[in-house]
Amino acid sequence: MSDPAAKTIASEAADPPVMRPLGSRTPPLVPAASAETRALVGVIAILTFLAALCTCAAELVAAAAADWQSAIAREVTIQVRPTHQRDIEADVARAAAAARATAGVVEVRTFSKEEAQRLLEPWLGAGLDLGELPVPRLIALRLHPGGQADLAGLKARLGSETPNATLDDHGLWLSRLSTMARTVVAVAVAIVALVFLAAGLAVAFATRGVVAANREVVDVLHFVGAQDSFIAREFQRRFFHLGLKGGLIGGAAALLLVMLLGWLAEAWSRDASRDQIEALFGAFALTWRSYAGAGLVAAVIAAMAAIVSRATVRRLLRGLTAPARG
C-alpha cells in the first residue's frame, strides 16, 4: 500500500470524521484485489461448494430414507411355506382371511404361484422351470396410515391356523435404513465441520499474510494513535465481504450441480438403472431445506471469516505493540 493511502487511513483513524468531497473514497486498509484475497475467495468458494454439496446430499438421502421407512412401515408380508403334509392353497386362503379380519389392515393382496416365481427371476434368471422348487407364497398387507394394526393378534392366529405361515413386519429393514440414514447424516456433518475448520485456517493464514504485507501501514496507524480495535474492525469488515463472496459462489455452484443432476435424471429414459437410482437417492428434487442448508453454510463461513480475521489481527497487533509498551 502506498504512503498517501497510509496517511489517509491514519488521519481517519486519529481525527473525527469530516465531510469529504462528493466522489472521494478512502483507500481500504486491506487491499481490495490482491493475490492473497483472490486466492482466499477461491479457497472459500471451493470449501463452501464441498460443504453445501454434502448438505444437499445428506438432505436427499435423509428424505429418501424417510420415504422408505414410511412405505415399509405401512406394509407387512405373510410368507406361506409349502409342505408335503398341508395344502398350500388352503393355507394361503386361511392366512388371507385372517389378515382381512385383522383390525388396521386396509388391503390384502395374494401373490399367485406364477407371480411368486417371477419375483425370483432377478436372482435366478428368466426361463427356468421352478415348478419343482418349494417356492413360498406371499401375501402383502397394506396397513392404515394413521392406525395401529393388531399384528400380535394376527401372528397368534396364523400360528394356530397355519403354522407354516410367518409374518414379517420388516422391522429389520427399518432398523437398517435408520442406521444407514443416521450414518450418512453423521458423515456429512463431520465433513462440513472439517470444511469449516479448513476455512478458518485459510482465513487465519491469509490474514497473517495481509498484515505482514501492510506492516508499514499498521505502524503508521499505531504512530498516530489508532486503536487496535479500529484496525481489527477494518480487517473484519473486509474479510467478511471476502468470505461472503466466496460462500455465495460455492453455495450457488453446489445448488446448480444438484439441479443439473436432477435435469439429467429426468432426461434419462425410463429403465431399471434410473428406477434403482431414484429408489436409492430420490429424484434429486431440491427442497427449501436444501436451499436453506446451502445458504446457512455460506453465512457461517462468512461469519467465521470475519471472526477469525478479527481474532488473528488482535493477536498479531498485541505481539507488535508489546515491545513498544515494554
* H or E stretch at 142: strand 137-143
Return the closest-CA partner of residue 239 out of 12, 34, 11, 26.
Answer: 34
Mean pLDDT score, 220-225: 75
Q: What is the per-residue pLDDT across 231-275, written as a single tens digit (0 to 9) for each?
A: 788 788 888 888 888 888 998 898 888 788 777 766 664 554 555
Beta carbons of 297 and 251 less than 8 angstroms apart:
yes
Q: Report the share of the chain in percent with pLDDT over 90.
A: 5
- The reported pLDDT for the residue numbered 324 is 47
- Cα–Cα distance for residue pair 208/317, rounded to 1 Å: 11
* H or E stretch at 297: helix 288-325
φ, ψ for residue 27 (rounded to 5)?
Answer: -60, 140
At 24, the pLDDT band (50, 70, 90 cuts) reads: very low
Tell me which of 320 and 249 has the higher pLDDT. Answer: 249
Cell representation of residue 206:
491469509
Cell representation of residue 172:
429389520
At 190, the pLDDT band (50, 70, 90 cuts) reads: very high
Nearest-10 crossing angle of helices 215-223, 288-325: 60
Q: What is the largest CA-CA distance in the chain?
A: 104
Q: What is the per-residue pLDDT across 79-97, written as a single tens digit (0 to 9) for each?
A: 888 887 788 888 888 888 8
Distances (CA, A) of 205 to 141, 213, 250: 62, 12, 20
- Cα–Cα distance for residue pair 172/183, rounded to 1 Å: 16
- Cα–Cα distance for residue pair 323/303, rounded to 1 Å: 32
pTM: 0.66
At 227, the pLDDT band (50, 70, 90 cuts) reads: confident
Radius of gyration of the chain (CA): 33
Beta bridge partners of 168: 77
Nearest-10 crossing angle of helices 228-267, 171-213: 140
How far, rounded to the nearest angstrom, does the alpha carbon of residue 111 sit from its chain's CA centroid? 39
Cell representation of residue 42:
477461491
Beta carbons of 46 and 250 less than 8 angstroms apart:
yes
- Cα–Cα distance for residue pair 128/65, rounded to 1 Å: 35
- Cα–Cα distance for residue pair 86/94, rounded to 1 Å: 12
At 7, the pLDDT band (50, 70, 90 cuts) reads: very low
Q: Structural domain boundaries of the chain?
A: 3-18+29-69+175-325, 82-163
Amino acid at 249: I
Beta carbons of 192 and 304 less than 8 angstroms apart:
no
Beta carbons of 128 and 92 less than 8 angstroms apart:
no
